Amino acid sequence: MFTRLVESLAATEALSSVFSDVSVLRAMLEFETALARAEAGCGVIPGEAANKIAEAAARADTFDISELTRLSLAAGTPAIPLVKMLSERAEVDYAHWGATSQDVVDTALVLLLRQCRDVLQRDHNRLMTALLRLSGEHAGTVMLARTLLQPAVPTTFGLKAAGWLAGARRGWDRVSSRFDEALYLQFGGAGGTLAALGDRGLEVSAALASELGLQLPDASWHGYRDRLAALMAALSIYTATLGKMALDIALLMQFEVGEVAEPERAGRGGSSAMPQKRNPTGCMLAVAAAKRVPGLLADFAGGIVLEHERALGGWQSEWTLAQGIVQAAGVAVESMADVAEGLRVDAARMRNNLEATKGAVFAEKAVVLLTPQIGKEAARKKAAEGRLPDIPGLEAAEEYLGSAEAFRRRLLEGDR
């Protein structure tokens, strides 16, 4: 499955496959198959009818997706034309028995999100492994810390990489827990009561959840989108954290700084007009993803305010919004895993840039040393004049790192 050209900078092939027309169709058919089997097992519909529904649903390639798409727009939901097509192929009247359109759409989305989790997890693990290696290899690589984009005091690249790792780890922990909360069956029937199933509603629900490998909610959640919204929020925060890492690296790649470089790869990092350029393309994709998600999340959150048992226009907007947020997280983590795995660190350039400050990075320490002798204001004035090498007691950069190594180790080992 190839990514559409219009999404070429906003999606990965793996997640494009998850959200492809065929994949979405199969997720809906998976719901209908599982429903038929659950109802047959509970004695609600004939077993022969369930078998015919399952056989017809297994032939997803016989469904005309273009026609299904056209009819979905007219019907206001893909469920109506889908059930009609499925019933015609199965030649039975028991498809979708007791269910409603939103049951199919919501559960299909949940099934797709479950697939997305595995894709995202693989790239996240790659990123963690690469950052752990970078932090260890450069535990003692001294560089400038920068505040407000200006030289501050010495730090280490190992600490910087550990900060990226810890932020991404915290972000993924939120995402993972929100996936756990979101992977619930949706099954409420016409008005959320499963009235068409009489007193068999709970029994069928439990069997259906088991068939699909999903959690069973206390009741249908047609009008309550909080669990999905929490997942989208966690994915958005995770993407933004990756965007912060990407921006740090892109700034360190500037020609005037030159302390790191993205890995060289055929077809990546060039310029259509300037052949000498080496652009931070992976970082650019992650930053762009981080810039997209706030608007998508705001729209998704707006859909939480819904009318009564089933709403008009709110939940119907979620498919494209959820896809956009998940794709943004996917392209960000894949890009940054690629960058981290091959990142080139120029320790010599880091040292040169630090030394180019001519001791100004020790101004803070100079004030501490001089204040008892000449007072704080005079000490600050002298430090600002830049004659710091003449002040006794100033250490080399390696001796002015404070708790950098302790913090690095804590970030790698802890969860705070």
Identify the CATH number of the domain in which residue 89 sits.
1.10.275.10
Q: Is residue 283 part of a domain?
A: yes
Pick out the chain residues at pLDDT < 50. 271-274
Q: Is residue 2 part of a domain?
A: no
Helix (H) or strand (E) holding 154: strand 150-156
Residue recorded with tokens 């056989």: 55
Which pLDDT value is given to residue 315? 79
Q: Are residues 143 and 95 in the same domain?
A: no
Which among 404, 367, 371 has a CA at the least distance from the CA of 385? 367
Which pLDDT value is given to residue 373? 80
Cross-strand pairs, 156: 142
For the chain, how far is it from start to end, CA to CA, in angstroms? Answer: 40
Q: Are residues 390 and 337 in the same domain?
A: no
Distances (CA, A) of 373 to 228, 367, 370: 62, 10, 5
Active-site entry in 169, 225, 310, 408? 310
Q: Is residue 81 part of a domain?
A: yes
Q: Are residues 298 and 377 in the same domain?
A: no
Which pLDDT value is given to residue 394? 58
Helix (H) or strand (E) holding 261: strand 260-261
Which pLDDT value is given to residue 374? 84
Q: Is 135 in contact with 158 (CB distance < 8 Å)?
A: yes
Which pLDDT value is given to residue 272? 46
Q: Are residues 331 and 358 in the same domain?
A: no
Active-site entry in 271, 344, 403, 410? 271
Q: Are residues 368 and 275 in the same domain?
A: no
Q: Is residue 317 part of a domain?
A: yes
**What is the number of structural domains in the chain?**
3
Q: Is residue 1 part of a domain?
A: no
Q: Are residues 347 and 377 in the same domain?
A: no
Active site residue 271: yes
* Domain, as residue range, for 297: 102-184+221-352
Which pLDDT value is given to residue 271? 46
The residues near 254 (Cβ < 8 Å, ≥ 6 apart) are none
Which pLDDT value is given to residue 184? 97
Which among 352, 379, 349, 385 has a CA at the least distance from the CA of 366? 379
Is residue 392 classed exposed, middle or buried when 0-12, 13-18 and 19+ CB atoms within 10 A define those classes?
Answer: exposed
The residues near 168 (Cβ < 8 Å, ≥ 6 apart) are 124, 127, 128, 131, 238, 241, 242, 245, 333, 336
